[in-house]
């Protein structure tokens, strides 16, 4: 994937989010796919983000390691019935991912690759 194609894909993701034609989950999946297709060096941007299955596995690990009381802090205000993409905050607890988080990720990808469409 060229830089121009990546930047066009980022524009499409932003457009889909602003018109609400893309869900948070779909926007995240598209962003992850185009960013890693462009360069695996961008994969670390997504380090703190988890899909539902990974979050569920992490919850099991937290319960096994720290007990049931840890679940209270780990889940916090997260509604696992309404969200499929999560992130781990500074405290090691789960948070729901929102459009703002995806916009931040898009900005980070743009910063990493540069916004100059003329160069590849």
Residue that is written with structure tokens 């916004």 in the block: 115
Kindly report, residue by residue over 45-71, the tens digit of the pLDDT. 999 999 999 999 999 999 999 988 889
Domain ranges of the chain: 3-113
Distance (Å, rounded) from C-alpha 59 to C-alpha 84? 14
DSSP one-letter code for 19? T
User: 115: pLDDT confidence band, cut at 50, 70 and 90?
Assistant: low
Task: Indicate whether this model's pTM tops 0.75.
Answer: yes
CA of 38: how far to CAs of 6, 28, 32, 42, 62, in Å? 7, 15, 10, 8, 34
């Amino acid at each position: 994937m060229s830089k121009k194609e990546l930047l066009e894909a980022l524009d499409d993701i932003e457009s889909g989010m602003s018109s609400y034609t893309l869900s948070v989950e779909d926007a995240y999946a598209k962003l992850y796919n185009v960013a890693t297709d462009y360069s695996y060096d961008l994969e670390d941007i997504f380090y703190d983000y988890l899909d539902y299955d990974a979050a569920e596995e992490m919850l099991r690990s937290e319960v096994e390691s720290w007990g049931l009381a840890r679940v209270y802090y780990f889940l916090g205000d997260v509604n696992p019935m309404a969200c499929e993409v999560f992130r781990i905050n500074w405290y090691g607890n789960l948070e729901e991912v929102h459009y703002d988080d995806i916009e931040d990720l898009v900005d980070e990808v743009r910063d990493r690759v540069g916004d100059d469409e003329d160069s590849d």
